[in-house]
Every structure is written in C-alpha cells, then in structure tokens.
Structure 1
Amino acid sequence: MTTSSPLTVLVAGATGSVGRLVVAESIAHGHTTRALVRDAAKARRVLPAEAELVVADVTDPGSLKAAVTDADAVVLTLGSDGGAHSSPENVDYGGVRNILSALADRAPRIVLMTAIGITSRSTGYGHLLDWKRRSERLVRASGLPYTIVRPGWFDMNGPDEHRPLFLQGDTRRTGTPADGVIARQQIAQVLVQALTAPQAVGRTFELVAENGEALEDLDALFAALTPDAPGALDGTGDEENMPLDREPAHVRADLDALRDRTGTP
C-alpha cells in the first residue's frame, strides 16, 4: 500500500452516504480531514469528532475560499437530491466547477466520484449522468493531478462479493445492478487510497466487486489501469457519444476557462 506524509484533505459531499465514510477513512489514514458542510449541527451528528468542519455551499462560489485554502487533496463525492437548489446541474456539475475555480493557482490532488454507466446518454436518470460526465470533463481539463472513480450500485453485494475489480471503457450500461455492485465502505477505501497512489494519477475507471476477499493494498490494481489520453475530455475507452460542439454554450465556456487558466491543451 502506498504511504506518504499526511495530507490536508477536503471532502466535498462529506455528510452523504459515501462522503461520511471517506471522512472516517481519511482520518484513519492519518490525514487532516476537512469536511465541507452546509449544516454544522447536522455534520457533528454524523461525522467523527476529529473531522474539521468548514461551512460552505458548493453552489455558492463565494463561500468556498476558506474550504480550499491549504488543501493538499480534494475528494468530491457530490450528489444532488433533485430539488431546485440541488439539481444535477447545480451540484454534480456546478459544485465541481465552483471548487475547481476556487482553487485558483493551487494544485491539489483531485479524486472525483461519479457513477458506472455514465456514458450511456440515458434519459432514465433525468440527464443526471450527462451532468456527472461533464463534471469529469472539467476535472480532466483542469490540468490538476486527478483520479476519477465510477462506482457500481451501492451496498448490493452478495455475502462473498468483496474483491474489488477495476474496469475501463464504461461498457456496462444497462442501468441496473447487473452492471456491478460495490459496498460504500469499499468506495471510500478506494477514494482515499487514490490520494497517495502515484499509479492512480490520470486514471478513470469503474469500480465493482467480484467474488472473493477484500484487498487492503490496491496499488497493483491502480498500476494495471491505462491512463487517460493527454488532453482528452473523456476517459480511456469511453464511447465518443457526447460531441463537444453540441454541448451547452456555458459548458463549453467553463471548459475553456479552465484550460486557459492552466494552459491545458
């Protein structure tokens, strides 16, 4: 297992069902862990006492400066609830854009959680997956060191289904648990280990479980992944079915702004 000096880790989506496990996992790895929350009282009820709380809202860019200050790494586990304030565009996409913008000239490690089947272009999720895919493109365009993890269906594992399997190309796109399942705790483990694994940088992959025992050391799995092509907007092997010239104008503008700031092609 790759080890390094403790980091200051910011977790966005920290009170969500995966985010709170990421906070605990990060603390267990010895990292100073900062939880970005909207409601401090609620957060204190669900997060470990060791977590540092910073009150901010990912849909409000002006509130994020203190949250990102001095962060060595950022884990993004954002998820919308479908309300007007918390739509996929505002949270799953806009939240990622706003945090990347707030970083200014800082260059922390970025680990983004999205979802398996993200390239399906299915309308069954109300375009949720399209906005998550656009958030991936923002991260790749940022020029920052990143890992993008696309987990399968949460906590639907069988009793002997614990061995992590990393896939690429997003070929499982039925929109059902047949695409793959994974425990939330294992998602948190992968997200946190990706922060310090050199082999994880620049990789995008789907995360599911297969029959077998859990692994403590994921370095070999990270090392076996194919890196994303330099300058590419999509992950390695992804179907090219979201043409950039057909994207909303503001999405193209967001990508251009990130590329201009970082000099990314």
Structure 2
Amino acid sequence: MEQNPNTPRTLLIVGATGSVGRHVVAEAVRQGYDTHALVRESSRTSGLDPAARRVTGELTDASTLKEAVADIDAVIFTHGSSYGDAAAAEAVDHGAVKNVLQALGGRRVRIGLMTAIGVTRRGSTHDWKRRSERLIRASGNDYTIVRPGWFDYNDDGQLEITMLQGDTRHAGSPADGVIGRHQIARVLVDSLASDAANHKTFELVAERGPAQETLEPVFADLDQDPAGLLDGVRDQANMPADAEPEPARQDLNRVVAGSGVFPTSRSLRSPRQ
C-alpha cells in the first residue's frame, strides 16, 4: 500500500492478548507501526509478538490508562466480554472505549473499533457494543468500525474480504458470515492508513475467492457514516438515544461535550429519527 502521509505511527492495541488482538499486534508490527500492547499485568504477555512494547492498564479504570495513551496517535480496540454477561458488557465492551477516550482527554487519534455482526439486533449484550460504537462516532476522532462475522469458520477457498453495510444478518450463527482472525487483523490495521476507510462502519465477512492485494477499492465502495448521526449508515433506527439507560446517556453526553462535533446533546440522534 502507498504510504499515506497522514498515517499514524504509534499504535495502542486494546485487547492485545485476546484471540484477535494477538493477530492485530503481529500485523501492526509487520506493517512497521510502533506497536504498544495493552496488558493488565506485564507478566501476562505470552504469545505476543516480542517486537511490541507492553504497557499496563486496567480497562475498567481510566486513571490507569493515562500512561498507556500518552504517546499514541492511533488505537485499535479488539477487547470483548463473554456474550450474555450484561454487567461485563457494560464494564468492558462499552467501558473500555469510554475509559480510553477519557484518558485521551480530547486529544485526537485514529481509531479502529471491532464490535460484531448483528450488533444492531436489540435485546442482547451486543447493545453495549453498539453503545461503544456511538461513543466513537460522537468523539470527533477519525475512525473505522468493523463488525466481523464468526471467527475462523471459513474454509480454504473463502479468502476474499467482503464488507457489507446495514447489519441485516441476524441469524446468530455462522450463516451470518464467517471471517478469519488474521483477516480481521489485516482490515483493522490497513484501515488506519486509509482515507477511504475513514468514518465508515461495516460488517466483515469472507467470501469464496482469492485474497485481495489491496483493500483500498473495497473501502472506497462503502458509504460514510453521515455526520451528526450516532449509528452507522443504513443501520436500523431501533435504539432511540433518549430512551437509553441513564448511564449510557451520561457517558455519551460527556463524550459529546468534549468533542465539539455535536453542538448540543439535543443533536444526538439515530438514522431516520
């Protein structure tokens, strides 16, 4: 890929020791980023690329993250809680994004956020992942939000990276789409250097066919998220901001107040609201 002069160079990976995060660390190192892997304890780094710098912090406590974010100009989130645990989803899936933004103190960075395919289907702990997406869109940062399908269910012939929008696949099974963990890592890291990927939200799956040499045409074919909206382009308008739980509203309003993107909290809205 041709070097973008606006490409960030120092990257923090949140969820670095997870099953996707380890691939992101390796891919970031391969692409030449000054890669910082966030870990809870410096001794718990088995399996991470040795070229990555280990930085410690607790995702649920913003005060422990200030040193980790001090020198970065990009962050990729690959963290996640166990599906079905509502308390953990709020504290981790949503809380980690909130806390990193708080630790940044309004400083702008490029963001890659991994959530999940089916995130707009209501009534599950994925609601907190969707709320974390809203924090990113409201924060004023450049971003790419990636919603991968089922990890590593693809067969040997499913190598073509495919990006969808509108989050219409809600089977709750691999029928929604499949994708390799190493492919997710490639997309997240490639997005940091891509103007074509900026302010875009998409579902990520692998279809039958060869892997692309470059993802720029795939990014370019996507629609951007409309400015001033909380949800992704073509997402269902089924999570009214004014009906959200009080903690979620408070967190979102704090991000909005510090971003300068939305004039007032009354501007918060979802598509077609």
Post-superposition offset of 1:39: 2.2
SS in structure 1 of the partner of residue 141 of structure 2: coil
Change (3 A) 1:139 1:2: farther
Matched, 1:109 2:105: no
Amino acid paired to 1:172: R
Q: Which runs of 4+ in 1 moved over 4 A?
A: 82-86
Match of 1:159 in 2: 156
Contact 1:148 1:203 in 2 (8 A): yes
Match of 2:78 in 1: 77
Contact 2:8 2:73 in 1 (8 A): no
Amino acid paired to 1:112: L
SS in structure 2 of the partner of residue 157 of structure 1: coil
Amino acid paired to 2:20: V
Amino acid paired to 1:176: S
Match of 1:3 in 2: 3
What pairs up with 1:88-99 in 2 under 5 angstroms? 88-99=89-100
Between the aligned partners of 1:222 and 1:248, the Cα distance in structure 2 is: 34
Amino acid paired to 2:214: D
Match of 2:268 in 1: none
Change (3 A) 1:114 1:41: same
Post-superposition offset of 1:85: 11
Matched, 1:188 2:185: yes
Q: Percent identical across equivalent pairs?
A: 52
Post-superposition offset of 1:128: 2.0
Match of 1:139 in 2: 136
Post-superposition offset of 1:3: 2.1
SS in structure 1 of the partner of residue 145 of structure 2: strand
Between the aligned partners of 2:237 and 2:252, the Cα distance in structure 1 is: 17
Post-superposition offset of 1:218: 0.3
Post-superposition offset of 1:250: 1.5
Q: What are the ranges of 5 or more consecutive residues in structure 2 without an aligned counterpart?
A: 263-273
Between the aligned partners of 1:82 and 1:211, the Cα distance in structure 2 is: 28
Q: Deviations over 1:65-120 (max 9, x none)?
A: 00101211000011113698981110000011000111113101010000000011
SS in structure 2 of the partner of residue 42 of structure 1: coil
Match of 1:22 among 21, 24, 33: 24
Between the aligned partners of 1:116 and 1:82, the Cα distance in structure 2 is: 13
Between the aligned partners of 2:198 and 2:8, the Cα distance in structure 1 is: 18
Between the aligned partners of 1:51 and 1:180, the Cα distance in structure 2 is: 31
Between the aligned partners of 1:114 and 1:263, the Cα distance in structure 2 is: 25
Between the aligned partners of 2:239 and 2:87, the Cα distance in structure 1 is: 24
Match of 1:128 in 2: 125
Contact 2:86 2:125 in 1 (8 A): no
Between the aligned partners of 2:85 and 2:166, the Cα distance in structure 1 is: 32
Count of equivalent residues: 260
SS in structure 1 of the partner of residue 43 of structure 2: helix
Contact 2:136 2:143 in 1 (8 A): yes
Match of 2:209 in 1: 212
Contact 2:8 2:74 in 1 (8 A): no
Contact 1:20 1:47 in 2 (8 A): yes
Between the aligned partners of 1:207 and 1:82, the Cα distance in structure 2 is: 19
SS in structure 2 of the partner of residue 172 of structure 1: coil
Matched, 1:262 2:259: yes
Matched, 1:61 2:62: yes
Change (3 A) 1:136 1:60: same
Match of 2:14 in 1: 12
Matched, 1:230 2:197: no
Amino acid paired to 1:38: R
Contact 2:199 2:224 in 1 (8 A): yes
Match of 1:35 in 2: 37
Amino acid paired to 2:131: R
Match of 1:248 among 236, 245, 250: 245
Change (3 A) 1:85 1:255: closer
**What's the TM-score, normalizing by structure 2?**
0.92
Change (3 A) 1:257 1:206: same
